[in-house]
Amino acid sequence: MFQDKIIIDGLQYCHWDREYFQTLLASGITAVHATIVYHEDARQTLTRFAEWNRHFEQNSDLIMPIHSMADVEQAKLQGKVGIFFGAQNCSPIDDEIGLVEVMRRQGLLIMQLTYNNQSLLATGCYEQQDSGVTRFGRQVIEEMNRVGMIIDMSHSAERSTLETIELSSRPICISHANPSFAHNALRNKSHAVIEALTKRGGLIGFSLYPFHLPNGSQCRLEDFCQMVAETAERYGVDHLGIGSDLCLNQPQHVLEWMRNGRWSKSMDYGEGSATNSGWPEALPWFDGRQGFENIYTGLLKFGFSDHEAGKILGTNWLTFLTNGLKAHS
């Protein structure tokens, strides 16, 4: 039964307010990986943590912070939604390796090495040349492994991703992207990347962002489940999750911040087309309230067992994060 499952969304950046927290609770989601920063530096990241502290204080009947996966179990028992934090860029550590541990202790559980551009650590997926992991990047990977911070390569370029998978002593994730065989977008991942990721015990979270899906905003639930089924057949069901990339109720200026940060004077279209200058039309079957239950039902109809559907919707994330967040002595 869907209501009995631990459901984890591996990435959201919605407009966080009490109304949306109520929607999350009604949706049956147990825990959400919430993007806390895109381009914010270390000092600005601390302010984002302070803002979330206020959310937890004012909405303690609906949400709770997740510091370890034991807290996810507690969220399920208490009937609340657990929130754990990730960064979609390496900007929170500035150029200081010691801030990896500082941010981990603040509650930053996941960090991407790049967003769409070249960073101090590696290359983003929209750069023309992928120079791979930098000298600083190699040391940050080692430090993230040491302190138990999950490496995420969702927005990274191919060579940088493959090198990171090889360099990391722990499995990494691609929290929100799809296989390029399903839809050939720059943000989606090749067979070489997904094969290397899954062979090393990593996890890929399927994105519901229309620009990453076959047929875009016209993608049907059946199309999505077909993509999941083909991926499971190729790489195994144990390495699959959901990272919806849901951005509900966010205004245009937030989209511009995500894409532009402070680096560009003109609008960066990211996905490669000026027609993508705004938010894509939402999928009618994946909204804030019924989306995960619709996927659960769709996977069952597509031939997945109840156990397998439960893995994809949450327990694979739970297992992956339980192992990856333990600090090395």
| SS3 (DSSP) at 72 | helix
Fold entry, domain 2-324:
TIM Barrel (3.20.20)
Q: Measuring CA to CA, which residue among 202, 246, 279 is closest to residue 9?
A: 246
Cα–Cα dist 238/57, whole Å = 36
Q: Measuring CA to CA, which residue among 178, 160, 208, 185 is closest to residue 271?
A: 185
Task: Report the pLDDT value the prediction gives residue 251, as an integer from 0 to 100.
Answer: 84
> What are the sequence ranges of the domains in the chain?
2-324
Cα–Cα dist 248/231, whole Å = 27
Task: Report the pLDDT value the prediction gives residue 252, as an integer from 0 to 100.
Answer: 87
Reported as a single tens digit per residue, the pLDDT across 181-210 is 999 999 999 999 999 999 999 999 999 999
Task: Report the pLDDT value the prediction gives residue 329, as an integer from 0 to 100.
Answer: 66
Task: Report the pLDDT value the prediction gives residue 180, as an integer from 0 to 100.
Answer: 98
Task: Report the pLDDT value the prediction gives residue 128, as an integer from 0 to 100.
Answer: 95
Global pTM reads 0.96
**Angle at alpha carbon of residue 30, lines to 29 and 36, rounded to 5°:** 90
Q: How far apart are the first and last CA of the chain?
A: 39
For residue 246, what are the β-bridge partners? Answer: 12
Task: Report the pLDDT value the prediction gives residue 269, as an integer from 0 to 100.
Answer: 66
Reported as a single tens digit per residue, the pLDDT across 6-46 is 999 999 999 999 999 999 999 999 999 999 999 999 999 99
Number of helices (H) and strands (E) in the chain: give both, helices first.
12, 9
Q: What is the DSSP letter of 64?
A: E
Task: Report the pLDDT value the prediction gives residue 277, as an integer from 0 to 100.
Answer: 66
Alpha helices in 203-305 (DSSP H): 221-235, 252-260, 291-301
Cα–Cα dist 251/257, whole Å = 10
Residues of the chain with pLDDT under 70: 269-277, 329
